[in-house]
C-alpha cells in the first residue's frame, strides 16, 4: 500500500481556510474534513494521515496530546515548539499520549506537516485532559524525538551532488522509530529502510523532485506513505536532484 500525494494537486483541491491559517489534506482524512454521516476510521488499524498546517504570524497552539503517534515537520517559516526553536526543515516526533507545546508562530508564520499512521480524533488540550494523560501512562511512555533544522539543499547544491548519500538524523530505536535524510543527484536513486522494521514510513520531498520507482514525478513538499508490509521504497530523483526525508513510526500491536 504505497500512497503518494502531489503537493500541487493537494494545494489546488484540498486547501481550506481555518480561523488563523490554512489546512491542506494530502493523505487520509482528519477530524476537520469528516462530513456528517462519514464513518469514523478505527483507531486500532493502520490509517495513514498527512496534512499541511499553515499558521499566521503570532498564532499559538496550546499544549496538548493525541491518541496516535505523530510526526510534525516544519517546512516553512519559524517559531517555537515547546522549548525548541524550529525552522525548515525540523522534525518533531511524539508517541501517542505524549503532551507537547505550545506551538508559537514567529513573525513570518510557520507551516508544518502532521503525519500519523493511525486515526486520531483531535487534540486533547492541557490541563483539561491531564487525568486522561496520566491514565494512559500505564500503556504509553512519554517520548519525543527531534532533529534539525535541516535546511533544504539549494538548486546549486542539488546540482553539485555526484552520488546518492544518506544518514540517520534520528537514530533508529529498538521498536523501529527512526528518521533518515537522503540527498540524490539527477536520475539517481535510493532504497529506504526495510518497512517491516517499523510501523510505516512517510517520505517528504524537502527539495527538488522525486518519484517512487515506476510512478509519477512528485514536486517539492509532496509525500509518500509506505506500509510495513510493503517492500523497501525506491525513490528516483527528478531533474535537478532531490533532498528527501524518510520518517518511520515505531511498531505497535494493531488489529
CB neighbours of residue 65 within 10 Å: 25
- Pure H helices in the chain: 7-14, 130-136, 155-160
Final residue in a domain of this structure, among 125, 147, 169: 147
Could you tell me how many residues make up the chain? 255
Domain boundary (147, 175, 207) is at: 147
Residue 108 CB neighbours (<10 A): 13
Query: Has residue 38 got a pLDDT over 90?
Result: no
Do 77 and 149 meet the contact criterion of CB atoms below 8 Å apart? Answer: no
Do the domain assignments include residue 4?
no
Question: What's the domain range around 176?
Answer: 155-248
* Residue 77 and residue 112 in one domain: yes
CATH number at residue 106: 2.60.120.10
Does residue 74 or residue 139 have the better pLDDT? 74
91, three cell numbers: 522534525
- Do 168 and 123 sit in the same domain of this protein? no
pLDDT of residue 183: 98
Residue 254 is predicted with a pLDDT of 55
The answer to whether residue 3 is domain-embedded is no
Instruction: Select from 91, 125, 147 the last residue of a domain.
Output: 147
What proportion of the chain, given as a percentage, has pLDDT over 70? 99
Q: Is the confidence at residue 255, as pLDDT, over 50? A: no
Average pLDDT of every residue of the chain: 94
- Exposed, middle or buried: residue 244 (CB in 10 Å: 0-12, 13-18, 19+)? buried
Alpha-carbon gap, residue 104 to 100, rounded angstroms: 12
Specify the number of domains making up the chain.
2
Residue 223 has pLDDT above 90, yes or no: yes
Domain assignment present for residue 163? The answer is yes
177 beta partners: none
- Residue 217: the pLDDT is 97
- Residue 253: the pLDDT is 66
pLDDT, tens digit (0-9, with 9 covering 90-100), for 153-176 = 999 999 999 999 999 999 999 999
Q: Rounded mean pLDDT of 129-155?
A: 93
Amino acid at each position: 500500500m504505497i500512497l503518494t500525494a502531489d503537493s500541487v494537486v493537494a494545494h489546488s483541491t484540498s486547501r481550506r481556510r481555518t480561523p488563523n491559517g490554512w489546512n491542506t489534506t494530502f493523505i487520509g482524512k482528519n477530524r476537520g474534513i469528516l462530513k456528517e454521516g462519514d464513518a469514523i476510521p478505527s483507531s486500532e488499524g493502520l490509517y495513514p494521515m498527512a496534512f499541511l498546517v499553515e499558521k499566521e504570524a503570532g498564532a499559538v497552539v496550546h499544549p496538548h496530546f493525541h491518541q496516535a503517534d505523530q510526526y510534525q515537520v516544519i517546512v516553512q517559516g519559524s517559531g517555537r515548539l515547546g522549548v525548541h526553536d524550529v525552522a525548515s526543515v525540523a522534525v518533531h516526533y511524539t508517541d501517542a499520549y505524549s503532551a507537547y507545546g505550545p506551538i508559537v508562530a514567529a513573525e513570518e508564520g510557520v507551516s508544518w506537516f502532521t503525519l500519523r499512521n493511525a486515526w486520531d480524533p483531535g487534540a486533547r488540550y492541557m490541563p483539561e485532559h491531564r487525568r486522561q494523560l496520566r491514565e494512559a501512562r500505564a500503556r504509553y511512555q512519554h517520548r519525543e524525538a527531534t532533529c534539525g533544522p535541516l535546511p533544504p539543499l539549494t538548486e546549486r547544491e542539488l546540482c553539485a551532488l555526484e552520488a546518492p548519500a544518506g544518514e540517520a538524523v534520528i537514530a533508529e530505536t529498538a521498536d523501529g522509530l527512526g528518521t533518515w535524510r537522503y540527498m540524490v543527484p539527477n536520475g539517481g536513486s535510493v532504497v529506504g529502510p526495510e518497512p517491516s522494521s517499523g510501523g510505516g514510513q512517510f517520505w517528504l520531498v524537502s527539495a527538488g523532485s522525486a518519484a517512487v520507482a515506476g510512478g509519477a514525478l512528485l514536486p517539492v513538499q509532496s509525500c509518500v506513505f509506505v506500509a510495513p508490509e510493503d517492500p523497501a521504497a525506491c525513490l528516483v530523483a527528478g531533474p535537478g536532484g532531490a533532498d528527501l526525508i524518510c520518517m518511520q513510526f515505531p511498531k505497535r500491536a494493531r488489529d
